[in-house]
């Protein structure tokens, strides 16, 4: 579409609205405002027009204001707690220190569109220092900030930490496979932890299939958006239109997750029982190396590394390591300290107080690169056993993956 055609036919520009649904209420909590243009009864997205840097800023701003004016006029009929997600190019915001956009929004405050309902979306690529100051200024008026353009290629975790947005949008378009790359899941896990730390809400967009919705739910998503839920429309929809559907789907997700957790609990209990049996038979008559060898025989199809640490995280035994289906002792690991590992000391305290073993979350072993979990077990109040589980064992018990 030629830019001049759009500029000379501003009456053909109008908004579309894509609903945003929440996990906690199972209903519409907001709409993203999108620009559209009609040409010979064909509806065309204005996205390429707004993103075309060759078009002068004032022209893009003019079209943007036409779309936003029409959108906010229509939005006055919505409930007073509905959020309105507004995309605006950084260049269009900072050319006058953001005052024009602010004054534009203030005009609608008297019509019932409070600034606390506006969510300004910015791309992480645009979030420079000058932009950060402007966004903080907008916050003083109650405007919420959302950062976008997050996927598997870059997490921008440092920038997100500095900006501390209210909402972080995550694109699930890369998740078009039922088996996403582990690195992608790791980025989302880190993003979920960071969002929790800074008090941000995760919004997953481009949800097109059931498993993507489940993935978003499993990874801490509170808000959801995508064609699987509802496509962009020229009108608003009933807030509870998907309430029953979402309630039913989330129930399935919950049941699946409960089943996985129950399996993890049962496997943890079986490890607890098996270790108690091995230890009761061998521990009193053996030194620590003999004890490791006895454990290796008992856990031959389960583990690939076994060792013992003291209460400060210093290794007091060699590694018993399985190499080419044979166990070998690695004395060079003695006296190494592992207290720097995440949750290490916290788990020691939990084991000491509960007098029970713990099964770790899934992670990638630094030395072997193998996906694993570690079962930790308190031998007494001063010594703790660590058993790294093989991928084959996890695969056979797929709830552990």
Neighbours of 280 (CB within 10 A): 9
Domain residue ranges in the chain: 3-234, 267-400
Instruction: List pLDDT tens digits, range 316-374.
Output: 999 999 999 999 999 999 999 999 998 899 999 999 999 999 999 988 899 999 999 99
User: Cα–Cα distance between 142 and 87 in angstroms, integer?
Assistant: 17
Non-local (6+) Cβ contacts of 355 within 8 A are 378
Contacts of 292 (CB under 8 A, 6+ apart): 306, 307, 308, 317, 318, 320, 329
Please, what sign has the CA dihedral across residues 334, 339, 344, 350?
A: positive
Note the helical H segments in 53-181: 57-75, 90-94, 99-109, 129-139, 157-163
Look over the chain and give the mean of its residue pLDDT values, rounded to a whole number.
Answer: 91
- Cβ atoms of 82 and 28 within 8 Å: the answer is yes
Count of helix runs (H) and strand runs (E) in the chain = 13, 17
Residue with tokens 């950062």: 147
Q: If we measure between CA atoms, which residue out of 218, 260, 173 comes closest to residue 23?
A: 218
DSSP secondary-structure letter at 18?
E
Mean pLDDT for the stretch of residues 108-115: 94
So what's the pLDDT on residue 70?
Answer: 98
| Angstrom distance (rounded) from CA 353 to CA 364 | 28
* Whole-angstrom distance, CA of residue 352 vs CA of residue 22: 40
Query: CA angle, 270 as apex, 267 and 274 as ends, to 5°?
Result: 140
| pLDDT tops 60 at residue 152 | no
The pLDDT confidence band at residue 285, using thresholds 50, 70 and 90, is: low
Neighbouring C-beta atoms of residue 116, cutoff 10 Å: 14
Angle between helices 210-218 and 243-282 (to 10 degrees): 60
pLDDT at 253: 97
Q: What is the maximum alpha-carbon separation in the chain? A: 92
Q: Cβ distance 188 to 202 under 8 Å?
A: no
pLDDT at 153: 45
If one looks up domain 267-400 in CATH, what number appears? 3.30.450.20
Judged against a pLDDT cut of 60, whether residue 127 lies above it is answered with no
Q: What is the mean pLDDT of residues 18-38?
A: 97
The pLDDT, as a whole number, for residue 95 is 75
Quote the CA–CA distance of 274 and 391 in Å, as a whole number: 20
Encode pLDDT of 265-284 as tens digits.
999 999 999 999 998 887 66
| Whether residue 46 has pLDDT greater than 70 | yes
What percentage of residues in the chain have a pLDDT greater than 70? Answer: 94
CA 367/CA 247 separation, integer angstroms: 43
Nearest alpha-carbon partner for 203 in 215, 186, 220, 179: 220
Strand order in the sheet with 358-359: 326-330, 319-323, 303-310, 383-389, 374-378, 358-359
Between 59 and 284, the more confident residue is 59
Residues 231-247: tens digit of each pLDDT: 999 999 999 999 999 99
Contact 124/135 with Cβ under 8 angstroms? Answer: no
The CATH code for residues 3-234 is 3.20.20.450
390 burial (CB, 10 Å; 0-12 / 13-18 / 19+) is buried
> Residue 105 and residue 119: Cα distance in Å, rounded?
11
Give the tens place of pLDDT for each residue, 171-207: 998 787 656 666 777 778 888 888 999 999 999 999 9
């Amino acid at each position: 579409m030629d830019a001049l055609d759009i500029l000379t036919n501003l009456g053909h520009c109008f908004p579309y609205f894509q609903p945003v649904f929440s996990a906690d209420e199972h209903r519409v909590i907001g709409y993203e405002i999108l620009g559209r243009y009609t040409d010979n009864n064909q509806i065309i997205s204005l996205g390429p027009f707004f993103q075309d840097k060759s078009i002068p800023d004032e022209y893009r701003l003019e079209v943007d204001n036409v779309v936003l004016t029409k959108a906010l006029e229509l939005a006055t009929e919505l409930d007073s707690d509905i959020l309105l997600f507004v995309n605006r190019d950084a260049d269009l915001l900072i050319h006058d220190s953001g005052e024009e956009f602010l004054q534009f929004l203030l005009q609608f405050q008297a019509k019932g569109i409070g600034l606390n309902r506006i969510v300004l979306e910015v791309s992480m690529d645009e979030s420079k220092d000058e932009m950060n100051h402007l966004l903080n200024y907008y916050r003083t008026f109650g405007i919420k900030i959302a950062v976008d353009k997050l996927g598997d290629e870059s997490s921008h975790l440092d920038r997100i930490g500095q900006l501390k947005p209210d909402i972080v949008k995550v694109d699930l378009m890369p998740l078009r496979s039922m088996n996403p790359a582990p690195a992608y899941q790791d980025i989302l896990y880190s993003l979920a932890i960071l969002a929790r730390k800074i008090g941000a809400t995760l919004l997953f967009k481009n949800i097109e299939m059931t498993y993507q919705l489940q993935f978003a739910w499993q990874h801490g998503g509170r808000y959801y958006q995508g064609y699987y839920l509802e496509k962009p429309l020229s009108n608003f929809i009933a807030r509870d239109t998907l309430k029953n559907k979402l309630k039913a789907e989330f129930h399935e997700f919950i049941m699946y997750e409960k089943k996985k957790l129950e399996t993890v609990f049962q496997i943890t209990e079986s490890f607890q029982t098996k270790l108690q049996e091995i230890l009761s038979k061998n521990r009193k008559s053996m030194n620590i190396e003999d004890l490791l060898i006895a454990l290796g025989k008992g856990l031959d199809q389960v583990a690939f590394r076994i060792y013992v640490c003291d209460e400060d995280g210093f290794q007091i035994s060699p590694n018993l390591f399985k190499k080419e289906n044979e166990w070998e002792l690695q004395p060079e690991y003695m006296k190494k300290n592992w207290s720097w590992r995440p949750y290490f000391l916290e788990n020691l305290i939990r084991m000491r107080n509960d007098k029970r073993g713990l099964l770790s979350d899934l992670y990638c072993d630094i030395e072997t690169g193998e996906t694993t979990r570690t079962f930790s077990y308190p031998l007494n109040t001063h010594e703790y056993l660590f058993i790294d589980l093989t991928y084959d064992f996890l695969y056979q018990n797929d709830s552990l993956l």
